[in-house]
Structure 1
Amino acid sequence: MTTQFKLAAALILSGMIVAGCQRPAEKTEAPAAAATSPTAASADVHPFTIGALHAAALKDGDIVLENVAGQSPWADTAGVAEVLRKTGDPKIHLSVQPLLIRGDNKVVLIDTGAGGAMGTANKLPASLAAAGVQPAQVTDILISHGHGDHLGGLVQNEALAFPNAAIRMSTAEWAAVQANGELATLVPVIAPKVQTFEPGAQITPSITAVALQGHTPGHTGYEIVSGQDRLLYFGDALHSSVISVERPDFVNAWDNDSDAAIATRFALLGRGATQSLRTYGVHFPFPGLGTFRRQADGFVWVPEVAATAP
């Protein structure tokens, strides 16, 4: 992971639902079976439901970092070591798992993994196939932000990996992606498919964009609601299920605006714990599902199911 991979808080609590995408969606139809069929579980695919929606965590790979300057984004390596001591592993482990959602006559993929970069295994294509979906069946790709472990899988062999999908990201994030010289070869490939939106936009009948400020200029989470069920995909507002949750005050060098990112983390943890909100951590231990709980000295993440070892 390079230094470009860098999440105020009031928008989490007050800006959750605002009208309208900036541009209408391209009409792309997927076979009905692909939109509604349940998925079989495997080592790299974890199916679950959100109301009437069929969802699946799709493993792309793992990022493993030493807790030392130059690798860890947290400058307080001694503080991080103290937090990690209880895990029995001194290394920083960040899983990478895009989220698949099927329903509303759409096949939606939230983020696309690293495409094999950053030490990951490029498992997403196989995980997607195991979930019963072909790349051409994906109708919408929702990008949380423009870092390589989230949009790296958009392009393969200099062509669109998901040829029929609209690629959606916030207006501010698309501007940042276009200005990033390290993404110069990716931008012209994806540009014809990009559709931008403003914070709070209703992306699909079940998915609303949520501004989670601080990590990148237009960093976005996605709240998925079906019936009485809801799930918040919070992107890189929190990286580690241990460090980010138990010490949200730690400065993270990957954040573009540290003060805003810290405020976002505290607000997100507070809302999650107060509402017992089901959440999805793209970098939390696979499959990334769980809730936040208050404890005497702060917060802790409670996984919904036992994490799968890398």
Structure 2
Amino acid sequence: MTTTRRDFIKKTAAVAASIMMSPLPVWARNSLSLGELQIDTLHDGHLVLPGDFILGPMPQEELLPILQRYHLSRKSLSPECNMTLIRDGERTILFDVGSGSGFQPTAGKGLEALEALDLEPDDVTHVVFTHAHPDHLWGLLDDFDDPMFPNATHMIGKTEWDYWMDPNTVNTIDASRTAFAVGAQRRLEVIEDAITFFKDDEEILPGIASRATFGHTPGHMSFEVRSGTDSVMIVGDAIGNHHVAFERPQWQSGSDQDMEIAAKARTMLLDRIATEKMQLIGFHLPNGGLGRAEKTSDGYRFIEEDAS
């Protein structure tokens, strides 16, 4: 019997797990039903970021009491990472692919998350990207630089694709993110002949529509998932945390590539989610990322929901 590269990776992972002699973590965090759709959030681990990466541009005196309310350090933040999986009986759709093994050691747990749901990469029929930052894209390839999801149709906004595939991006992006540009282009080139593009306000799959939330990256997309009168907004990094992004969405965040445009997109998105009483799933929101946005006198509040 021929041993494929993917078989080799699976066997290696199994050996490592047996050596550790520890049970498989339950990486699937939240589950909910939306009509005929089954939606799960999959925990990909967490990041460790210097506080300035997000908080640097903000008014520091006004920021401090917010951080104190959430028991957060100004020096370092550790946002979790949540991929979203949707199954409709025909399709298994994964939104973003996590960090893989090449970004931060605390992240890249996506394969364990799938295994917790008795799924393998070969079961995924569609991969949809919110954007192409490392923690959302670098899990695209396996350790042999082959596509991790070989049977999937890969989908990305055309504006986002054009930005990362532009050879000038590596020279024009902030110097601290040069590796982001190099890594994105190297990975996206592998699926260049098999990618499907979409634009704003398109129904990219049945019941799933793209919503432009540019700013975090030049082509960042959120996705409205709807069944009848019920809906969920997959916001990616358009709403990047559960504290300042909600309480002061108009503040510029250092994590956004175009901070001004991103702040406008975040404010618009929160207003719609709160007004329409939609559920939302955020890639970096806590405990699986599922919740709602509640309007307050001077901002919004993240209301966490545990639907599992």
| Alignment CA distance shift 1:226-1:306 (3 Å) | closer
- The separation in 2 between residues aligned to 1:56 and 1:230, in whole angstroms, is 14
Q: Hey, what does 1:266 align to over in structure 2?
A: 267
Kindly state the Cα deviation for residue 268 of structure 1 after the two structures are TM-superposed: 1.1
Kindly state the Cα deviation for residue 73 of structure 1 after the two structures are TM-superposed: 4.9
Instruction: Give the one of 127, 142, 150 matched to 1:156.
Output: 142
Q: Hey, what does 1:199 align to over in structure 2?
A: 200
Structure 2's unaligned 5+ residue stretches are: 1-24, 167-180
Q: Hey, what does 1:107 align to over in structure 2?
A: 92
Kindly state the Cα deviation for residue 78 of structure 1 after the two structures are TM-superposed: 4.6
Contact 1:290–1:302 (CA under 8 A) maintained in structure 2: yes
Q: Does 1:62 align with 2:46?
A: yes
Instruction: Give the one of 125, 132, 137 matched to 1:139.
Output: 125
Q: Does 1:83 align with 2:70?
A: no
Kindly state the Cα deviation for residue 249 of structure 1 after the two structures are TM-superposed: 1.9
Q: How does 1:1-310 map to 2 (within 5 A)?
A: 43-45=26-28, 46-67=30-51, 69=52, 71-76=53-58, 77-90=60-73, 91-103=76-88, 105-116=90-101, 117-157=103-143, 158-179=145-166, 180-305=181-306
Normalising by structure 1, what TM-score?
A: 0.80
1:116-155, CA deviations, whole angstroms, 9 ceiling, x for partnerless residues? 3134332110111111211111110000011111111111
Letter in 1 for 2:256: D
Q: Which has the higher contact order (CA 8 A, sep 6+)?
A: 1
- The separation in 1 between residues aligned to 2:256 and 2:49, in whole angstroms, is 17
Kindly state the Cα deviation for residue 279 of structure 1 after the two structures are TM-superposed: 0.5
1:94-130, CA deviations, whole angstroms, 9 ceiling, x for partnerless residues? 1101100000510000011111313433211011111
Task: Give the number of the structure whose alpha-carbon radius of gyration is greater.
Answer: 2
Contact 1:73–1:253 (CA under 8 A) maintained in structure 2: yes
Q: Hey, what does 1:4 align to over in structure 2?
A: none
Runs of 4+ in 1 over 4 A off after TM superposition: none
Kindly state the Cα deviation for residue 169 of structure 1 after the two structures are TM-superposed: 0.5
Q: Give the count of matched residue pairs.
A: 264
Q: Hey, what does 1:10 align to over in structure 2?
A: none
Where 1:250 maps in the other structure, the secondary structure is coil
Structure 1's unaligned 5+ residue stretches are: 1-41
Q: Hey, what does 2:171 align to over in structure 1?
A: none
Q: Hey, what does 2:20 align to over in structure 1?
A: none
Letter in 1 for 2:187: L
Kindly state the Cα deviation for residue 188 of structure 1 after the two structures are TM-superposed: 2.3
Letter in 1 for 2:95: I
Q: Give the CA RMSD over aligned residues.
A: 1.9
Where 2:224 maps in the other structure, the secondary structure is strand
Contact 2:47–2:80 (CA under 8 A) maintained in structure 1: yes
Identity of aligned residues (%): 30
Letter in 1 for 2:93: V
Where 1:181 maps in the other structure, the secondary structure is helix
